[in-house]
Amino acid sequence: MGDQVLIGYSFWGFLGPGITDTPDGGRSHRRVLIDGLRERGHEVVFVQANRDREEAGLDLTHAYRWDSGLPEVDVLFLEWRWPIPGRNTTACGTPGHTCDLHRQQQLLGHYTGRGAPTVVWDKDRQLPEHDPLRQGANVTVCEPALHPSPGAVSLLFPVADSALDGADPVALAARHRDLPLVYVGNQYDRDDAFDRFFAPAAKVHSHLVAGKWTSTQRWPGLNFHGRVPFVEVNALYRRSVATLLLLPDRYARSAHMTQRLFEAVLAGCLPLTPASVRDAARFTPPELHVADGRQVARRIMELVSLAGTDRHAELIDLCLDRLDLFRLSRQLDSIEQVLAGHGVGR
């Protein structure tokens, strides 16, 4: 696309490491996407609060632009926010209130309601199927799934081309790994998958669960560590032989894969994948597919015995090959095709 597009980008999260006690999977890929858009000649202005500066004390205003008003933009790009009772549904100024939803409503009214091209990236599959917003002629809904909802467009979480091209499976396999099994992520809608796949294996293998798990009484004896700082996630994966890709059913049915896949693979941690995940073979090789917790336990034993071998490096390489789906340049092409469809940037 030859013409510069000015994008008003709305996200409730961080560009940098942020703070520990907050959910924001976008930290693994948001800055990659923004920098990629800018490298293609587009301009980006952030239209939510500057949480990097206000909460994490990281001032990035020398490199990026925030605007709390309603600046002139060519397109509005929303990382979709949804009502969270007691948090963003309360009155402004109420203790614990976050203003992401109110701000999103203001942006939708000012831009989308007046016909501005709008891209809604429904990263958590929270936009209702029959929401009137989906019918807007100036609106495109994107989802990080291989099989998005009817009318939506696939936009996966991006991985920098340089990260994929520079990954060395032999070096990753050669690393010392003292932890057979790790899971990094929060509990949200994952109890059933955790029960079926992770818990049985965790009873027989050393393991660690890092993330916000507030209700764990049904799994006594398992090692729930709590949240860890974002900067420590890579180190956890780099010391672990394997992880499990635990997806809510609404993700698994649409082949909606989270950032946990490429976070693990790029660190050389092999992602065991429930065979019930739609198009599982497009994400990981069949050798890493599992049907239940007992198979997970057996597979981990096998992988521990392979650690550091040529076969270990081969499995990592097979996983790296499949990450090409998430390559940044592919996701930027998808965004520019959406923008072109709205007559922007031609």
CB half-sphere exposure, 4, CA atoms < 13 A: 8
Q: What confidence tier does 231 reach under pLDDT thresholds 50, 70, 90?
A: confident
> Could you tell me how many residues make up the chain?
346
* Model confidence at 252: pLDDT above 80: yes
Position 22 pLDDT exceeds 80: no
Rounded Cα distance between 157 and 282, Å, is 15
Distance CA 165, CA 255 (A): 24
- Tell me the mean pLDDT in the region 170-193: 94
Distance CA(11)–CA(132), nearest Å, equals 21
CB 21 within 8 A of CB 27: no
Q: Are 26 and 13 in contact (CB under 8 A)?
A: yes
Q: Within the chain, which residue ranges are assigned CATH 3.40.50.2000?
A: 161-326
Tens of pLDDT, residue by residue over 276-332, are: 999 999 999 999 999 999 999 999 999 999 999 999 999 999 999 999 999 999 999
The tokens for 252 are 């698994």
Q: Give the mean model confidence (pLDDT) for residues 87-110.
A: 93
Q: What is the mean pLDDT of residues 227-237?
A: 92
Q: Worst-scoring range by mean pLDDT, 77-91, 110-124, 296-310?
A: 77-91
CATH code of the region 161-326: 3.40.50.2000
Per DSSP, what are the bridge partners of residue 244? 272
| Most confident by average pLDDT, 2-6, 80-84, 190-194, 320-324 | 320-324
Alpha-carbon distance of 140 to 147, in angstroms, equals: 15
| Largest distance between two CA atoms of the chain | 61
* Fold (CATH) for 6-158+327-341: Rossmann fold (3.40.50)
163-172 long-range CB contacts below 8 Å, 24 or more apart? 163/266, 164/320, 164/323, 164/324, 164/327, 167/266, 167/320, 169/268, 169/313, 169/314, 169/316, 169/317, 169/320, 170/313, 172/267, 172/268, 172/313, 172/316
State the pLDDT at residue 1.
42
Q: Which residue has the tokens 């109110």?
A: 102
Under DSSP, is residue 127 helix (H, G, I), strand (E, B) or coil? coil
pLDDT digit string, tens, across residues 121-161: 999 999 999 999 999 999 999 999 999 999 999 999 999 99
| DSSP helix/strand/coil, 207 | strand
